[in-house]
Amino acid sequence: MDIIEEIKEKINTYVDEERAAVSPRYFQAFEGGYGEGDQFIGVAVPNLRKVARSYYRHIEITDVERLLKEPIHEYRFTALCILVYKFEKAKDRGEKETIVNTYLRNLESVNNWDLVDCSADKILGAFVFDKDKSILYDLARSLDLWKQRIAIISTFYFIRQNHFHDTIEIAKILLNHKHDLIHKAVGWMLREIGNRDFDVEFHFLKDNYKRMPRTMLRYAIEKFDPDLRQQFLKGLI
């Protein structure tokens, strides 16, 4: 059996019809939603990761790319998990570069927030951390919602290395974005900075919070002391 068909068959053994029924609403796959047109079969993430772990050593990158082009959301999620596992186990720069290029070549398939969040920092962020990061700025300045989310979420890798500059700069680019999925992503990354260096987050917020969308601010200050959080929300800082 073709390995892609084998993987799909394995994923299909975990189908939950109730999950399949609610997923289009949860991921806004309805007309006019940010995930419009996506298709779901209803498989929980732990099971998708389990399948990915079973196959990532045995599948060629070209076959992963085929899986990544599938119309079913859960198949694409599994393909991205496989790319992440392959990247983490890659032994040399050339192998990692091949994985990253495959990822970048198929960004149109990374088209919902869970697909971005399971892959961007672990593949693209990890790869460019010690290299030219201009691609992240290009993505942030694009007019594509998912590319913009990839840009900010990729910096989560940097944050975990206590490198905050690029997150702050990309947050500035996205500060006045119209979509709440960007508001949530930027606020989340700012909160992650604050978990490691409160002063960096505080000073950025002090300079920018009055211009930030409310959702972005709420995500950013979620773990602040209640009194300080209220000062920000009331515009008293």
> What value does the mean pLDDT take over residues 111-136?
98
Helices 93-105, 73-89: inter-axial angle, 10-degree rounding: 160
Percent above pLDDT 70 for the chain: 100
Supply the pTM of this predicted model: 0.96
Of 113, 57, 108, the closest CA to residue 83 belongs to 57
Q: Which of 112, 144, 170 is the last residue of a domain?
A: 112
Cα 43 to Cα 32, 52, 63, 110, 195: the distances in Å are 24, 13, 21, 18, 32
- pLDDT, tens digit (0-9, with 9 covering 90-100), for 2-30: 999 999 999 999 999 999 999 999 999 99
For residue 228, give the CATH number of its domain: 1.25.10.90
**Are 28 and 73 within one domain?**
yes
**Are 93 and 187 within one domain?**
no
**Are 79 and 145 within one domain?**
no
> What value does the mean pLDDT take over residues 172-189?
98
Q: Which of 54, 85, 112 is the last residue of a domain?
A: 112
Helices 198-208, 180-196: inter-axial angle, 10-degree rounding: 140
**Are 227 and 182 within one domain?**
yes
The pLDDT of residue 1 is 73
**Are 105 and 182 within one domain?**
no
Percent above pLDDT 90 for the chain: 99
Question: pLDDT band at residue 129, thresholds of 50, 70 and 90?
Answer: very high
Kindly state the helix (H) or strand (E) to which residue 195 belongs, with its residue range: helix 180-196
Domain count, the chain: 2
**Are 68 and 96 within one domain?**
yes
Q: Is the pLDDT of residue 90 over 90?
A: yes
State both tokens at 26. 């949860």
Question: pLDDT band at residue 33, thresholds of 50, 70 and 90?
Answer: very high
- pLDDT, tens digit (0-9, with 9 covering 90-100), for 34-47: 999 999 999 999 99
Q: Which of 67, 93, 112 is the last residue of a domain?
A: 112
**Are 86 and 172 within one domain?**
no
**Are 73 and 158 within one domain?**
no
**Are 106 and 177 within one domain?**
no
**Are 129 and 104 within one domain?**
no
Residue range of the domain that includes 37? 1-112
**Are 92 and 124 within one domain?**
no
> What value does the mean pLDDT take over residues 183-196?
98
Of 171, 159, 179, 168, the closest CA to residue 28 belongs to 179
**Are 83 and 154 within one domain?**
no
3-class secondary structure, 72 = strand
